[in-house]
Structures are given as structure tokens and as C-alpha cells.
Structure 1
């Protein structure tokens, strides 16, 4: 298949070629600006934490100070007696028999009962007239804990006689796991590994450790619950999936779903951390108990305990290859630590196992992935969703094999790269473009940044360009350059038979003498730019300039989660579908009104462009204003992509994914080998996006995902004490994330190879760059130092041996 990229960007991310998809300004293919962009950069945008109600109370959560303990008693008397306190709630105050919630397995208690299972678990709630009063009241609640031994890893979780994190488990995965402390297990077996191993001329093995990463969104968990006159509640909240929240919240409150009305408030980032509930049920409980609006806003410390994190992982891999560089087989075992509650662990296991081979052709595989229940912090969805951990390991293996065979690491990857038609280890054919070799070619062909960039005139050094930066630790002594490559594969959308659909309501009418389209979905805008794309789709399909985006809420059908790189694909598909239905209704109105005056109404292909009805030859038949006049057209429709199926729990075979995305990176680093300091100079990326609906937004997504991958490579890790299972660094003082000074140049090369099964041929893009950026940085550091480096993040002591 010929590769014809349609958008190529400069290092600054400015499109140098743009394909226009619509004759109406601001349509598909244009780099239209975000409607919320200026407000966000000027600080005027209203986030959920900015909400205010004149008679509201403030909610506060009391969290466990230990990771595993029996609760002997809870004394709330002192807290209740404090002036300004309106309510104190514990497990015994929950209004219904439904006291748990969860995305897939309802194993998470609204408030702890009988025992706590992780550090920071919610135990009690306080509502008071001032946030400081609520905080002080919560501190006066006395809890008698009897600490229990902690389960922190696979050895302690599955040892004979191990304490069960969840006694009496009864869920749909229990029959498929070898121990109750295992949430889920997914094997994938294909071919004959034993025979394939005999054909291998070289075999490499590796054990890899991936640290626990936090989503580190800047807007903490927050929301406002307002009791309603009908006995229900209105909840304004920052989340990733309004309808999933609703499904979990209503049963706990004892209310029908129609009495729990949810509206999306400004979301300050998500990256998977808002897929699970945090303060939603707590705020509603307090509002219904007190009869007053209740606002809850987490501080940064509490936020670290209030949401799930990326699963830390232990991975063992074995690969074989012939002397001419062809892969013969792969075996791996992936152990993911899911923490105290299931969250999305079963789905993460499915992703990790099914994508564990990477974007390579390997016919003989033996794969096992599991997720554990432990007393560590709960882990669930985060950008990349299981594929990130696997990519770190299999890309390190590719470099090991290339070195052992004496083959260039990029050429070795290209030799084994999958392409359209490749059969995945699950038996599923890849039926859309898979330009893995081309992406690698592009990043390798890109010119390298100049050497010794820190040298300036007069023999001085620009310390900002050196490892250690403004700390002025070195002036170039002992600094070595390294270059590394990596490529990854990520699924798009929900998988394994999940009914993945979205809904859109589109209305077209005349307002102020001008045709206006209104798009209403429940899509959570978390910063990805979906509201921009929805307006572009409406302009393209309906030929109007003015498009209004209705606030997301549960008064329209579900849009699914803003995760899995699915929203532009699925909700974009729903908006497109609804717009097409509206267009047909508008044209039918025109035919009814004007068809007798002009035969083209019945015989020509009619389009809506620039507020007019035109023929395919460009003849204007009518203004849309004249067609609609006092009429309005409204359609609410769902859209589903192709169905998937669950992986077989014995063999792992099945068409489990709907689409794949691919990205490749080249990292250039400078390493001070004496001090163990790393400066990432450049992270070049090449990625196929199918169709760039908004090229500027596409580049921003790729650069953002790349930066998150950089973070987990060299700095980001939640540290959990292995003896107590307590989090040791719940703050941005101790949990480090990349700043602008740490972020390298990120040139982006965008390919547009259409997927014929997707709307506009697009491909989900947000997650793929997070996969390959991490192993590319590690490969570059290995290239500079000669060290094996089998864990993330890399710390100075790993480079100096101290």
C-alpha cells in the first residue's frame, strides 16, 4: 500500500499542509481554535472547583490512616457537637442495602465497614458551613483500628494461607483465577512455542519493573450536589463518564436514575483518573441528609488517595530469533498490582495480554497476564491502559535481540513489523493500515539535533540545556549523548464484547435570521478538544457556520467514557450520524416547499454549504433560512462501531478489539554519567491518525501523550512502603511531573492512512504516543551508558551505582 501522508508538521507543531474537508469554514480538516482555549490560558474558565451556591455546605472525607485493619468502633460525638457541623455520616447511615459500587465488579464500599483495605480509604463524611470547620470536625472522629498484615505483592497475595483482601468473593471472574487474591487472569496461547524455540538461533530474556504512575491532573476532584424538591438531587461534577457515574450512584442513594440529574462541570484533566467515582456519592449523601447544597473539593494530598493510579507491573519476557533477524516466538508473564479494589483491572489485563507482543509478527506465543488484589492503593484506568507496561518490556527486548544479532535496532524492528493483514496473537486480523515500518523509517530519517547544544559563545555554557538544568551541577563534564527508538500498538475504544456506543442530539433552526446547529451529547470534555471537533463535524455535514455545543448532561443518551481514544471515533460518529439524519429532514422540508419550482430538488445531489442548499454542480437552490423559517429539525441517534467479542479465557483467542493505533518515537538524551542526571533533548514522534480532523489538536494530543511517557521514564512514581502499604509521596513536592523545563522538543510527523471502517477514516490518537515515548527514552539512556536499566522510572542511583 502506498503511503501518502497528508499532514506533516514542523517541530513547533504548525501544520505545513492542511487538507480541507468542507467548503464551510471551520469544518473537518481545519485547525480551528478551541472555544475554551482562551478562557483556560487566561484563568477565566470555570472548573468544577469554582462552583458556588449561596447557602451551600462544605463536605469533608475522613480517610483511613492505615492500609489494612479491622474497625472496632467509630466515635463521631465530638465532631457532631462542633458548631457549624450539620451532619456526620458513616457506613451505618447509608440509606439502602446497596452499599458498594464499581466499574465492573461492585466491590468498593461507599464508606468502609468492618475493615479498611488501603491507606486513604473513606471511612466517614462531614458536612459543615465552612471548609475548615468540616476539616477540624473530621479530625475529631475517633476510630479504633486493629491493624492486620498487609498484602503487597504476588508472593504475599498467593502464599499458602494468605489473608484474603476480599473475603467471600463472588463475581464473574472468580472461576477463572487460581487464587481469590487474583482479580483476573488472561492467557493467550497460539502456535507451538516449544517447536519455535528450537528454531531460534538466539534467545533473550528479561525481567522488568514498571512503577506506579499518577494521572496528576491539575484540577482536583470536586463537585456540587443540590437537593431537589422532587426528592432527587442535581449533581454538577468533573468526571469522564456521566452515565456510568449515574448507574453507580442512583442505587446507593435509593433513587431512580431520572431523579439523579448529572451535569458535567469544568474538568481539569483526567487521563483515566476520573473513570471511577470519587466524591460523587459522598456529596449527594450529605446533600440529601442536610437538605442543603454540598460542595466537596479535594486538596492535592487527598487527591492522591481519591482516585486510582496506573498499575505497577512486574513483567518477564522471552524472545527468540533466527540469525537473519526473524522473530521465532515470545513468552511473557505480566503481573499487574490492582490494589485493594477491582476498578478497571479486568479490562487492563485484557489489554496488557492481547497487546503484549507489540506491533510485530510472532506466530508462536505463550502469554499470561494477571491482576492482583493487594492492600496497595487501587489502580485502574490511565492513558495507555495496560499497553504502556507491556510496551516498555517488549521494546527493551527488541533492543536486546538486535544487539545480540548485530543488527541495527530500527532495521530489526522493521524486519519484524506487522502490516495490514497481520494476524494478532488473539487470532484477529489487522484489517486497516498498520504502517509500523514506515513510522520507524520516518523517525530514523529525521536529522538529529546538534551536538553539545549547551555550548555558547565565549566558552560559556547554557546550563538550561545540560543535565541538571538550572541547578548548575555540570558544565558538560562527563555528559554523553544517547539515541533510542521504540514503537507501540494501542487498541482504540472499548473491547471484548463491550457494547460501545454513543448518542448525539442535533437540532437545526433559524436563530436571529441565521441557521444554527446545536449539538448535545453527554461527552465529557476533559481537555481533549472534543467540543471543537463536534462543531467541525456539524459545520461539515450541515453547511452552517454557527454551531452551539450544549452542556453535557444525563438528559441525553450516554456518550460512553472519555477514554480509550474513543470519543472522536464513537461520539464523533454519533454526531455525524445525527447530522446526516438532520440534513435529510432539512432537504425533505425543502423538497416539500420548493420542489415544484425547480426540478433539481428532486434530481440533483443536494448539499448544504455556507448556509445554502446547493446542487453538486454548485447551483444555489435556496437559503437554509428560507427552508427552515419557523420550523426546527431535531434528531437524537446512537452510533455503534463494529462489534467485538470477549477473549477466550483458556486460549485468549477472539476478535477483541475494534481498531489499532500506532506511534513511534526517537529519543535523544544527554546523560551526566558521573551524577546520574538525564536531559531529554528531543522526542521525535511519527504517528498514523487515519484522518486529522483538527491537525493542530492532533499535534497537541501527540505532544501531551509523549510528555506523560517522558514523565514515567525519568521521574514519576508513587512510592508505597512495602512493609505498611502506605503512600509516602502524596504531593507534587515529592511526586515529580515534567515541567516546561523538562519537556524536550517534540517534532511530530503525522500520517493520514484512512481506516475504512471509521468515520472520516479517523483513528484514535490520544494514547499511542504515551506507549512508545517511555521505552524510547530508556533505550537512549541505555545507549549513552551501556547499562541494562530494566525499571521505570530511571533514577540517578541507577546510573551511578550508588
Structure 2
């Protein structure tokens, strides 16, 4: 075990910049100074601009499309509809159900109907608006409870005892959260001499993008070459295609480079979101707080198309009772289609929604059993050797009890001084002076989350790395080449650290990620350090073996350049049984626990998060500074879901597609954080590491919600918690009461 320490000063040696050090990020200076080239900065002589026309209706028949008015405009070069798609008309990550361009109908507001190319982006936008589409609106299915179109239903069945001395029930709801990457969807498609196309794009998954694009263009995959452009955040938003096929279609039609960049409003329509969820839970326990059973129903709104909904449902089901010993489980997780915006991957997908519900239940169970929030969790915490509700044995360290004890021992922040003129910056509402502290109450809450790492349920999850060592100017240099997407998480830095550690060579170059090397899978599921790190490590070991015991300089002088390519796969996983939900579906599990301290103005409904404390087991720290950044970032997104982030959808229409109305946490909203990072190595993982990027997002949300409940005495069964949700009845007593039964 270790606590985080300040990063060591860089000394310039391979050891000091290897695994375990806070190695300097090669892109850090460029990003801080604003010189880093993102995908939206791409430029090529002779390029033209592409723009998408999108449906204003959540559900409608398309009776006609007239592109004539757009084509008649000066500067317009092409207008394409579904009739111009040269190959397959549909694509999709899991199910190929999404039209390249709408044909005959639209199923959500914002669905692409036509694409336009022009010599100026404003001309292209005006031309898109000039396309005349004859819509016949039809009734939209926007309430997931009324949908009969199921994406996936996954039951979990374990045990047969569903009676207990204490029973608590609750219904919970999670709103639709957006990934809100600061860089919008963008890319540049360049036609090639061989009839193919080169696409420079911000994405999370180069090879799967290619494999979806090629059939729609009617081309073999080898003629679609993708190179990762600068990515301004991802969090799942870039797993699905957005403008990729559209830009390539226009480039091939015109034989000219085509650039597409979404504006902020279009970005809200151009990528998937976090699944909204409605969940009903019933927990049964003994009087001393031992869980006997859990019954649960989880309903996830997948929106108009499939995307990753099957995997989201699988995660929600398999992790739906949390990191607790539960001998009897009857759980049903269901994802459905609606005419709402499509939903898919977002940081911690599936597990986030379930975590908010089961952690809310744990607090209510603690109250019913007259135990503290920490004690109820300690009495039911999993450990190594425990079984999940799916029957899978946790076969690596799971120090949840230790994490909870350490969290509970961390000092609480001091209460604000009772000053006549308090510092407004420390109060809910801040310097807007909406309160002076007269109605402010403090609350403390806890949250625990468990998240799968890497892909699950039998997915062939692997990564490929090519490592080349050579002498350059008489000095050894290593080039690492993978297709792994750097999306801001520091993966480029980690690859270089591994090469320095394994080969003892300071000079390491990480080549641009592209499809000329084997797949690295998606930068999601907290998997890249595990699988791409494993691939880089394996390729470096193969290079080192060829040194024949010589130093790198001696070996490269004697043998010339040495290059090795290796694939790395984690141990196999298996699909959940469709009837019982039993199966070893995950390769690794990660835990994070949070404590939140909040101040709430109970009259105005304003909340200030005073402090977040977190304890997380990461197996092995590869880069302390980057790791802390991941925990801070995940906690921020959890805070956003708890208090402010929600896409408002009414009758299938998005009401707030802007950062004016869709609020994300700023530096003024994020509190100071106390962190303790533990190292309990996983023997099955490279270096013993444990994926770390997603777990903080899970536990931050219920901890903050619990703290607000503690401050107000309100049940607050929905996130995000809005100001109007925080209100006291006329006599000052909390509204609502727990549903508790005692035998």
C-alpha cells in the first residue's frame, strides 16, 4: 500500500522516467500553451467543407428530399443523400442498424438526412438549410416504460431466499448525461490515388471505425487508412461514428479533401449520451445489517439505435448489487429502443447508473438497521474470494474494507467560521451573494463503486504493439507504434515509460496511432494501460531478448535495428447466461470509495461541495501524477451527474444543446480532494496494474447525493439533484419517508 507522493523531478534517465515515475507528458507544453493541433485544426490546401443536415423531428416519415435549391447556390459542390451511399446503407458498433443517411424515415431529432460540401463552411451551412425535406411527423415513443422494442434483457438469478427481517425499497432515476468533450467531432478526409481515402479523425477506436466505414463506401478495409488526429476529450462519445463516413463520401465524390467540424450544438446531436435509467430496488437484511437478498429492476433508455446498449445492460446487470456479499439476487436489467437521442458508452457505462441506486439503498438500509453508512458497508463488503451475483469469484485483491476504514479515518474539513461577514466564495451560490449562510446546513455522505476493467462477456479483447530499437546519431532510440487512441488520459506517456523500463533506453518516440499497425481496441473500459501496456511490454521484452545480454548500444551496433511486434490478450471472459445471468464475464474489477462533504442552502436549494475524499486501489501505480489526474477527472464527472449535468429531453426533443444550458463543473465547482491510492497488485495484469480511470465516476455521484440527503433530510431519489428538489415542508420537516418494513 502507498499514499500518493509529489512527482519526482525529472533527471533525464530512463529509470527516472520509467514505470512508477511522473514522467513528463510529451504533449503537455503544447496543450498548455495552446499550440497543440487538435482535429479541428487540420488544414490542407484545396480542401472544402462538409456540413450535415439533421432532422428536426424525433420520429417522422420522409416523403421527399429536394436538393436543387442547395445545389443552385454559388460555392456549393455536392449534396448527398441516402441514394448516394456507395455501399452498405447502415453501420453500427454492435448491431448495424444506424443509417448512414436517413432513408424513408427519421427516428430521433438530429438524425443525419443529407451532407453538403462547399468552398466555405458558412456557405455549406446555408446550403444545408436550403435542402427541402418533406416530413410527415408521427407519434414518437419517448417513455422507455412504454417501449416494446427491447435491445437486451439480462436477468441475474442467484439463491432462493427472498424474506428478511428488515426490508427497504426505493425507486431511483438517473438523467441523461453528456460526455461534453471540449473538442467537438471533427476530421479531414483525403482521397488517395488508389481509389481509397485517408481519414485523419478524433476517435477512440481506429480499427472499428475503419471496419464500419469500408462497407458503406464499398471499399476493402485496406483502402481506408485512419490516423488519429488530436483528441479534445472522449469519455465514450467518440466510440461511435459521427462524421467519418460523411466526410469520406464527399471526398471520394469530389476527389478533394473534405473537412468536417461540428459546432457545439451539433455535437450534442452528433454523439451518443449516457443512458437514462429508472431503477427499483428492494434490499432485505438481518437486523444487524447483513444483506440477505436484493431484488431489482433496471430500465435503460437506449434511444433510437443500438450502439453499445447490450454491453451497458450487461454491466448494469452483472454489477447491479455492488461490491457486497449478496447470497440471493433476483435482478432484471433491460435496455429498450425509443425515439430519444441514441445512448451508448460513457465513462463507467451501466455501472454508474446501478451504483447510484444500490448505494442509495445501502444508506437507507443503514438507517433502518441503526448503523452508520460506513459500518453497513463494512459488514457486507466483498473481499478476495467473494462471489459476485453472477457467480464469478473475485480472484485478485479486493481490499474494500481496508479502503473504507482508511476513508473513514481521513480528517473532515473544519466547519466554516461563524463570522459576521462570511467569505461568500465558501458558501452555496458563491459570490452571487444569494445567501449569507443563514440557511446553510452541512452534510456528509459515502459512496462505493465497483467497475469492470477491459471488455467483458467473451469479447476478443487485445492490443498490438510494434517496437523498434535502432541507433540514431550513435545513440539508442526506441520507436513504439500502436493504434491506441490518446484521448487525454496520458497513454502516450505510459507507452514511453514502459519502453524505458523494459529496454533501459531513455530516448523513446511514440509514433502517431494509425491503422498501419494491428488493432489496439478502444480507449474505453479503462483498458489501454492493461492491454496496450501489456502489448508494449511484450514487444519490448522480445526486443530485449535479441540484445543477447549486450547493452542496448552494443547490441544495436552489432546487430543493426531490431523490431518486434506482439499482441497481448488478457485471460478469457465468457457471456452471461441469458436466463440465469451466471458466468465469468469480467477479467478484472476495480474499487473506489468516496466521502463527500457538502453545504446546502435548504431554502434556495443551492449546493456547494466542500470536499471530496477518495481511496482507490490501482494495483500498481504507473504514473502518480497522471493517476491523480484521472481520479480528479472521474470525480468531477461524478459531481456533474450528481448536481448539474443533464440533457433535457421533452417529447424526444433536446432543449439544452449548449454549454449555456447544459452545465458542467468548472474549477469553482470542484472542491479540494484528499486522495489515498493503494497498491494491491493483480497477479494476472501487466505490472499488477488495475485500470483506474472509471471507478471514481461511479462512487462520487452517490457520495454527493448522500451528503445532500444528510444535510436536508430529503429522500432525493433522482440525479442530478436540482435546486427545486431541495425544499422543506411548511413545518420544516423532511418531505417523504423511507419505505421500511420490519419483520
TM-score, normalized by the shorter chain, greater than 0.5: yes
Residues 7 and 21 in structure 2, CA contact (< 8 A), matched pair in contact too: no
Measured after TM superposition, the shift of residue 197 of structure 1 is 2.9
Measured after TM superposition, the shift of residue 628 of structure 1 is 2.9
SS of corresponding position for 1:747 = strand
Q: 1:182 pairs with 147, 150, 154, which one?
A: 150
2:363 maps to 399
Q: Give the Cα–Cα distance (whole angstroms) in 2 for the partners of residues 628 and 779 of structure 1.
A: 63
TM-score scaled by length of structure 1: 0.89
Provide, for residues 372-425 of structure 1, a one-character-per-residue CA deviation record: whole Å limited to 9, x for no partner: 100000000000010000000000000001001101110110010000000111
Provide, for residues 54-102 of structure 1, a one-character-per-residue CA deviation record: whole Å limited to 9, x for no partner: 1000000000011000000000001001111110000011112x11000
2:493 maps to 532
2:647 equivalent to 1:683 = no
- Mapping for residues 501-580 of structure 1, pairs under 5 Å: 501-580=462-541
TM-score scaled by length of structure 2: 0.97
Measured after TM superposition, the shift of residue 630 of structure 1 is 6.6
2:284 maps to 320
Measured after TM superposition, the shift of residue 6 of structure 1 is 2.4
2:615 equivalent to 1:647 = no
2:24 equivalent to 1:28 = no
Change (3 A) 1:627 1:150: closer
Measured after TM superposition, the shift of residue 548 of structure 1 is 0.4
Q: 1:258 pairs with 222, 225, 231, which one?
A: 222
Change (3 A) 1:681 1:15: farther
SS of corresponding position for 2:227 = strand
SS of corresponding position for 1:277 = coil
Change (3 A) 1:626 1:503: closer
2:662 equivalent to 1:694 = no
Residues 514 and 625 in structure 1, CA contact (< 8 A), matched pair in contact too: no
Q: Give the Cα–Cα distance (whole angstroms) in 2 for the partners of residues 653 and 155 of structure 1.
A: 26
Residues 184 and 372 in structure 1, CA contact (< 8 A), matched pair in contact too: yes
2:121 equivalent to 1:131 = yes
Measured after TM superposition, the shift of residue 801 of structure 1 is 5.8
2:641 equivalent to 1:712 = yes
Q: Give the Cα–Cα distance (whole angstroms) in 1 for the partners of residues 162 and 199 of structure 2.
A: 58
SS of corresponding position for 2:653 = coil
Residues 533 and 568 in structure 1, CA contact (< 8 A), matched pair in contact too: yes
Residues 586 and 628 in structure 1, CA contact (< 8 A), matched pair in contact too: no
1:777 maps to 704
2:325 equivalent to 1:361 = yes
Q: Give the Cα–Cα distance (whole angstroms) in 2 for the partners of residues 720 and 486 of structure 1.
A: 28
Measured after TM superposition, the shift of residue 33 of structure 1 is 1.6
Measured after TM superposition, the shift of residue 586 of structure 1 is 1.9
Measured after TM superposition, the shift of residue 8 of structure 1 is 3.0
Change (3 A) 1:197 1:234: same
2:198 maps to 234
Measured after TM superposition, the shift of residue 15 of structure 1 is 5.3
2:450 equivalent to 1:489 = yes
Measured after TM superposition, the shift of residue 42 of structure 1 is 1.1
Q: 1:38 pairs with 25, 29, 39, which one?
A: 29
Provide, for residues 4-28 of structure 1, a one-character-per-residue CA deviation record: whole Å limited to 9, x for no partner: x12335xxxx359x9x9x9723111
Q: Give the Cα–Cα distance (whole angstroms) in 2 for the partners of residues 142 and 437 of structure 1.
A: 62
Change (3 A) 1:757 1:623: closer
2:310 equivalent to 1:346 = yes
- Mapping for residues 708-787 of structure 1, pairs under 5 Å: 708-721=637-650, 724-787=651-714
SS of corresponding position for 1:329 = strand
Q: Give the Cα–Cα distance (whole angstroms) in 1 for the partners of residues 699 and 7 of structure 2.
A: 23
1:146 maps to 136
2:296 maps to 332
2:78 equivalent to 1:113 = no
2:13 equivalent to 1:7 = no
1:586 maps to 547
Residues 572 and 759 in structure 1, CA contact (< 8 A), matched pair in contact too: yes
SS of corresponding position for 1:671 = strand
Measured after TM superposition, the shift of residue 462 of structure 1 is 1.3
Measured after TM superposition, the shift of residue 38 of structure 1 is 1.4
Q: Give the Cα–Cα distance (whole angstroms) in 2 for the partners of residues 299 and 800 of structure 1.
A: 37
Q: Give the Cα–Cα distance (whole angstroms) in 1 for the partners of residues 226 and 728 of structure 2.
A: 53
Residues 476 and 552 in structure 2, CA contact (< 8 A), matched pair in contact too: no
Measured after TM superposition, the shift of residue 623 of structure 1 is 5.8
Provide, for residues 265-319 of structure 1, a one-character-per-residue CA deviation record: whole Å limited to 9, x for no partner: 0000000000000000000000000110000000000000000000000000000
Q: Give the Cα–Cα distance (whole angstroms) in 2 for the partners of residues 373 and 505 of structure 1.
A: 41
SS of corresponding position for 2:578 = coil
Q: Give the Cα–Cα distance (whole angstroms) in 1 for the partners of residues 109 and 143 of structure 2.
A: 16
May I ask how many residue pairs the two structures share in their alignment? 728
SS of corresponding position for 1:25 = helix
1:225 maps to 189
The unaligned stretches of length 5 or more in structure 1 are 159-180, 588-605, 607-612, 614-621
2:217 equivalent to 1:278 = no
Residues 469 and 556 in structure 2, CA contact (< 8 A), matched pair in contact too: no
Provide, for residues 504-537 of structure 1, a one-character-per-residue CA deviation record: whole Å limited to 9, x for no partner: 0000000011100100000000000000000000
The unaligned stretches of length 5 or more in structure 2 are 730-743
Q: Give the Cα–Cα distance (whole angstroms) in 2 for the partners of residues 569 and 427 of structure 1.
A: 24
Q: Give the Cα–Cα distance (whole angstroms) in 1 for the partners of residues 597 and 339 of structure 2.
A: 39
2:566 maps to 637
Residues 391 and 584 in structure 2, CA contact (< 8 A), matched pair in contact too: yes
Q: Give the Cα–Cα distance (whole angstroms) in 2 for the partners of residues 363 and 395 of structure 1.
A: 18
Instruction: Supply the RMSD in Å over aligned alpha carbons.
Output: 1.5
SS of corresponding position for 1:330 = strand
Q: 1:197 pairs with 162, 169, 178, which one?
A: 162
SS of corresponding position for 1:670 = strand
Provide, for residues 446-470 of structure 1, a one-character-per-residue CA deviation record: whole Å limited to 9, x for no partner: 00111016x66xx322111100012
Q: Give the Cα–Cα distance (whole angstroms) in 2 for the partners of residues 628 and 135 of structure 1.
A: 58
SS of corresponding position for 2:654 = coil
SS of corresponding position for 1:8 = coil
Residues 505 and 552 in structure 2, CA contact (< 8 A), matched pair in contact too: no
Provide, for residues 481-523 of structure 1, a one-character-per-residue CA deviation record: whole Å limited to 9, x for no partner: 0000011100000000000000000000000111001000000
Residues 510 and 625 in structure 1, CA contact (< 8 A), matched pair in contact too: no
